[in-house]
A and B are shown apart, each in its own frame.
Chain A
Amino acid sequence: MTAVTTHTLEEPVAKSPPGPAASTARRRPGRIRRAGLPYLLLLPALVLELLVHLVPMVIGIAMSFKELTQFYIRDWGTAPWTGLGNYRLSVDFHAPVGEALLHSFLVTVGFTLLSVALCWLIGTAAALFLQDAFRGRGLLRALFLVPYALPVYAAVITWVFMFQHDNGLVNHVLHDQLHIGAEPAFWLIGGNSFYALLTVSVWKGWPFAFLMVTAGLQNIPGELYEAAALDGAGMWQRIRRITLPSLRPVNQVLVLVLFLWTFNDFNTPYVLFGRSAPDAADLVSVHIYQASFVAWNFGTGSAMSVLLLLFLLVVTGGYLLVTSRERRTSDG
């Protein structure tokens, strides 16, 4: 999701002083042509946008009203319409499908909140530590960005090896060397899988927070800190009263983007756990994948996706509303 700010430029032609009527009449076709040109030039982009974004979304929404099972996938047109059937199935929390979806949704919410909070905390802390110049700062900055730059599959499959029960690095360190726990733990199956997933997600996500906050810090004028220092403010006070408020616009976007990415993340759980994730780490994106591809029921899968889309729209809308109102009150 990208936020696009558009500046409405006033048409320079409109500002030109009104000339004699005859010349205006003669110039009108040319003016229409000139005014229409930008729209014409936008047309390819608009058509592409329609094709790439909107058409698949509309098809997906249409699919959610169909009984699109293995018997019909070869020719979608023949799949019977089910009205709200797929939605009713998805939100009937007393039946197994709805219950499983609700469970998966709650796991995802908990996971996302924790992951975003930790990513933001670690990223911000690291950015603050690296704010002042010192020897090796560039190296550290580059090093911190490595998890973000690595291809997802290569990074996560390495974690899979590290989390293995018998000869993984994690158990070797925790159990063999630090003697934590009587038995080596399982990380990729059972309840611990949640923590494994959280670890990988935070490891992969915090460098982005670090990058954004580092960029945001460059915009805070040094005089503010100098003035605060003269007033006798300590480090904590400077962070609380100057750094964090100045970072607010950055943080607003950062938290939203992290939230959406983490909530929708498919690659990490899929590479970690394969097509059937353990209950404790059953994120909603993989859950929907399983409902559609593994159970061959693309109608239900689409209905779940649409529900997810609605939820994210509501959250995003609410978030933007609240944060923009806050900003207005703090500005005013």
Chain B
Amino acid sequence: MRSIRAAAVGAVTLSLALTATSCGGGSSAGGGSNDAPKTLTYWASNQGADVAVDKQVLQPELDKFERRTHIKVKLEVVPWPDLLNRILTATTSGQGPDVLNIGNSWSASLQASGALLPWDAGNFDKIGGRSRFVPSALASTGVQGKDPAAVPLYALAYALYYNKKVFADAGIARPPATWDELVADGKKIRARGISPLGAEGSNVSENVHHVFVFAKQRGADFFTADGKPDFTGPEVVDAVRSYVDLMAEDHVIPTGDAEYAQNQSVSDFAKGHQAMLLWQSASANLASQGMKDSQYGVAPVPVRSGTPGPGTQVDSMAAGINIAVFRNTHNLDGATRFVKFMTSDEEQKILNKAYSSIPAVTSAQNDPAFGGPADTVLKNTLATSAAALPQVPAESQFETTVGTAVKDLFADAAAGRAVTTDSVRAALHKAQQQMPAA
């Protein structure tokens, strides 16, 4: 009898405990607290060649932060394919990190979700003021006119990386400055049995970065001034077609690249199988694959004519990584101090050097350490000829739909099917229809 009663009591207790714990995980919709002033959780994006490299780069700096503030930072490096999903899940559940890195093009989308702490003047003052940051980097922190959702951390830009030996062997004296020159040089290189230019045809984000620049060079945008998708204008169609034609018509991108999505084009370039690469701040990545600085040159991405600059002479998206504070943080003060630490001149120099990116803070950017030939090209691009991707809430959907359209067009080109103005317009029309109606 006693054992039966014990079992019954146990069963009831267990049931109650289960019910109670399941209710305990709810989210608080509040605006952050200082309940846990001694610890921080930090989700870093994968900036190095792999996650282990990031841990090596970041851990000494986090230790330094702990010595100064007695706040322990728990680091997790989240690979790119998972990062956005992890942020969305954290937003939905209210359980997430205190501080996190985001791709700067997601700023407006995440801003709309309200998951991130807005950086109003008061918050900016705590980290040294808004004016410390490079203007082109600040342009990619959220919808214009709203308080930024994040603070610039690393600035990146596209450049044309070219193999010096292949160029010399083909009798090409200087890197191409226009697309026509690039196609002409590509023919010479192809005649020698080397693939001219690499692309990540199945990487939707990569596709969008390029067609965005191609559209800019035709004076066109993917969104109207009031933020509505507009993918089927003649200039946009021409821009997408011209980019895909680098494979379909001009044969400078090999058809095999249509299925690349895991940075295979970078290793093709590093191994010397491919003469040119359009990439964001690739130096550290190339070095980790055994390519020496002396083996390649860095030039601005080509334009249609003339030299890079604003307006139709734009030759890169203003790429970069922003650092943000999760609104549900349990250590608001500590999180702000950590952002201040990461954007300090000292850390900006150390971290951007390690990642071969450009500091997002003006004073650090002017340091002689960022005066090498590659950095100079990237700095000039960011200062004069880089444009921010559309800062609209639907940016993330735009990357998916248009990026997929370009991926499918590359697949057509690779399979030998014709890529025409009509087929491009049809693909973009379909992409636009899939955009949210708002």
User: What is A's interface to B at a CB cutoff of 8 Å?
Assistant: 33-34, 37, 40-41, 43-44, 46-48, 51, 55, 69-71, 73-76, 95-97, 100, 164-166, 183, 186, 188-191, 274-276, 278-279, 290, 293-297
Contact = CB atoms under 8 A, between A and B. Distances in A.
Contacts of B365: none
A73 B91 contact: yes
A164 B22 CA distance: 45
Contacts of A297: 436
A276 B407 contact: yes
B202 interface: yes
Contacts of A95: 433
Interface in B10-34: 11-12, 14-15, 18-19, 22, 27, 29
Nearest to B399: A294
B112 A71 contact: yes
Interface in B395-436: 396-397, 400, 403-404, 407-408, 410-412, 414-416, 430, 433-434, 436
Given A183-B416, A188-B202, 20 more contacts: A37-B7, A40-B11, A40-B12, A43-B12, A44-B18, A51-B19, A71-B113, A96-B433, A165-B256, A189-B201, A189-B258, A189-B414, A190-B412, A274-B261, A276-B204, A276-B400, A293-B85, A293-B88, A294-B397, A295-B434
Given A189-B414, A295-B397, A295-B400, A70 B259 contact: no
Contacts of B397: 294-296
The majority secondary structure among interface residues of chain B is: helix
A71 B94 CA distance: 14
Nearest to A298: B92
A71 B11 CA distance: 42
Interface residues of B, number: 52
A186 B414 contact: yes
B18 A48 contact: yes
Contact of B112 (A70, A190, A191, A278): A70
A51 B434 contact: no
A190 B412 CA distance: 7
25 contacts: A40-B12, A44-B14, A44-B18, A55-B22, A70-B109, A70-B112, A70-B396, A73-B91, A74-B29, A74-B92, A74-B114, A165-B414, A189-B201, A189-B202, A189-B410, A190-B415, A275-B81, A276-B400, A279-B408, A290-B400, A293-B88, A294-B396, A294-B397, A296-B109, A296-B397
Contact of A294 (B19, B256, B400): B400
A189 B94 contact: no
Contacts of A274: 81, 202, 261
A51 to B, nearest CB: 5
Nearest to B21: A51
B168 interface: no
Contacts of A34: 4
B8 interface: yes
A164 B267 CA distance: 15
A172 to B, nearest CB: 13
B406 to A, nearest CB: 11
A73 B14 contact: no
B411 A40 contact: no
B115 interface: yes
A33 B3 CA distance: 13
B113 A70 contact: yes
Given A164-B259, A290-B400, A294-B400, A278 B15 contact: no
Interface of B: 4, 7-8, 11-12, 14-15, 18-19, 22, 27, 29, 81, 85, 88, 91-92, 94, 109-110, 112-115, 201-202, 204, 255-256, 258-259, 261, 327, 393, 396-397, 400, 403-404, 407-408, 410-412, 414-416, 430, 433-434, 436, 438
Nearest to A78: B29
Contact of B404 (A33, A48, A276): A276
A96 B434 contact: yes
Contacts, number: 121
Contacts of A278: 408, 411
Nearest to A164: B259
A55 B25 CA distance: 14
Contacts of B110: 70
B7 A41 contact: yes
Contacts of A33: 4
Contacts of B27: 75
Contacts of B416: 183
A34 B15 CA distance: 19
Scoring B27, B259, B416 by chain A CB atoms within 10 A of each residue's CB, the highest score goes to B259
Contacts of A74: 29, 91-92, 94, 113-115, 327
A44 B109 CA distance: 42
Contact of B15 (A43, A166, A275, A296): A43
Nearest to B16: A47
Contacts of A41: 7-8, 11
A95 B397 CA distance: 18
A143 B412 CA distance: 39
A101 to B, nearest CB: 11
B11 A100 contact: no
A295 B436 contact: yes
B91 A43 contact: no
A276 B408 CA distance: 10
Contacts of B258: 165, 186, 189
B85 to A, nearest CB: 6
Contacts of A296: 88, 109, 396-397
Contacts of B22: 51, 55
A225 to B, nearest CB: 51
Contacts of A276: 204, 400, 403-404, 407
A67 B349 CA distance: 45
A47 B4 contact: no
B8 A40 contact: yes
A274 B400 CA distance: 12
Scoring A47, A51, A71, A189 by chain B CB atoms within 10 A of each residue's CB, the highest score goes to A189
A44 B18 CA distance: 8
A164 B327 CA distance: 43
Nearest to B22: A51
Contacts of A47: 15, 18-19
Nearest to A184: B256
Contact of B88 (A37, A55, A73, A164): A73
* Shortest Cβ-Cβ A-B pairs, 3 listed: A96-B433, A189-B411, A166-B256
Given A96-B433, A276-B400, A70 B94 contact: no
